[in-house]
Amino acid sequence: MKAAFISDIHGNAVALEEVLRDIEQKAVDKIFVLGDICYRGPEPKRALELIQSLQTEVIKGNADEWVVRGVQQGEVPDHLLDLMNKEREWTVSKLDHADMDYLEQLPTAIHYKHDDVRLTAFHAVPDNLFKVILPYADDEVLDTEIVKKANADIYVYAHIHKPYIRYANEKIIMNIGSVGLPFDGMRMASYGIVTIEQNRISTSIERVAYDTEKVISLYHSVNYPNMNMTNVIKNAKV
């Protein structure tokens, strides 16, 4: 079994298309989507349609929750609250009722087993869409916030836009980064692959180039309410 895990598209359909092309070339058996599909990018509707066309398991991320009910005080710095809700309102204006229902009803975890190897996937931590677990978190933090909250051998998550693979407490913990808004200084989309075969496991982080200038141009052509997002694309970090 060879599975690709993608997440944090953030309305960047250009990057998503390139990632899906790359996945197709690698002949994976399954694709799993770990959330944050539409919000903060210039093509929310097209990104959502591309994800839905995969007809696969998709879970909710914090940005999907924001699209559904808005960004609330305490979830982002106070000085960004109004702007991020303006971005949310713009995103919602590009979606229809069926899209909103789809996002609202998404589950929050994936549980998969192959060859007696158990895998669980979630957006941020198993019981919270917003909590941040960074690549350099102590093993004790990984154990408390991730390992003890789900029974698995492999844990796959996203949310922080910084991919990594670690081995702690006899478990594999993997962050797959972001398709649409990488924060690690590389202007390339990121996703993960897990292969399980006859109780052998391999994991990898894949990087895919895409036309960043086209995405920046799209932000301007659609009159996106936060032009600073173009700087995020240019610098691949915030």
Paired strand residues for 171: 168
pLDDT for res 232: 83
pLDDT over threshold 60, residue 238: no
Chain mean pLDDT for the chain: 96
DSSP for 145-210 reads: HTGGGS--SEEEE-SSS--EEEEETTEEEEE---SS---SS--SEEEEEEEEETTEEEEEEEEE--
- Which of 180, 238, 231, 218 has its CA nearest to residue 48? 180
The helix (H) or strand (E) run that includes residue 6 is strand 2-6
Whole-prediction pTM: 0.96
- Which of 57, 77, 75 has its CA nearest to residue 66? 75
Residue with tokens 């702690």: 168
pLDDT for res 122: 98
